[in-house]
């Protein structure tokens, strides 16, 4: 009976973990609860018709954009955007800072080949051209990350 109980408890824990991951919102996606979309770790837009609309709003210094009912949270683990330092879906590049990026060269990890966007441009993981005008695009990373802490 104890072996069955162990399997049951493990199954419950697995289901709970899957539910948490499924409930976790992502960058640039509108939520039905808050009707906002986090567009970086500290910036958000309100949603209209399930689409983010201007203007871009910022959380106060030291707070992170989350999809909790209180949008800006002090706890960084609630951050909705976790794309800073991660390779794009196409595995072509990863943003390492507001303007800095690294090529991924088809890998899931950023390479040592690094560059930065031109002045007045920012790195955004959702762009095919890597950099977009800062006036119309939000940076994936709000600050430069240490190269030793890149996510796999």
For residues 107-114, average pLDDT: 93
Extents of the domains making up the chain: 25-82, 83-152
CA–CA distance, 139 with 15 (Å, rounded to integer): 34
Q: What pTM was computed for the model?
A: 0.53
Quick one: which of 94, 149, 79 has its CA closest to 125? 94
CA–CA distance, 20 with 92 (Å, rounded to integer): 29
pLDDT of 40-71, one tens digit each? 778 899 999 988 888 889 999 999 999 899 99
């Amino acid at each position: 009976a104890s072996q069955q109980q162990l399997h049951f408890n493990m199954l419950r824990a697995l289901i709970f973990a899957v539910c948490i991951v499924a409930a976790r919102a992502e960058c640039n996606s509108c939520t039905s609860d808050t009707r906002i979309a986090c567009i970086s770790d500290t910036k958000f837009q309100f949603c209209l018709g399930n689409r983010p609309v201007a203007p871009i709003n910022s959380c106060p210094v030291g707070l992170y954009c989350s999809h909790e009912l209180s949008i800006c949270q002090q706890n960084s683990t609630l951050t909705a955007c976790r794309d800073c330092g991660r390779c794009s879906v196409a595995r072509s590049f990863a943003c390492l800072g507001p303007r800095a990026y690294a090529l991924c060269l088809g890998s899931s990890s950023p390479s040592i080949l690094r560059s930065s966007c031109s002045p007045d441009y920012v790195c955004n993981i959702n762009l095919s051209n890597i950099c977009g005008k800062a006036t119309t695009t939000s940076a994936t990373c709000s600050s430069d990350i240490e190269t030793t802490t890149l996510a796999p």
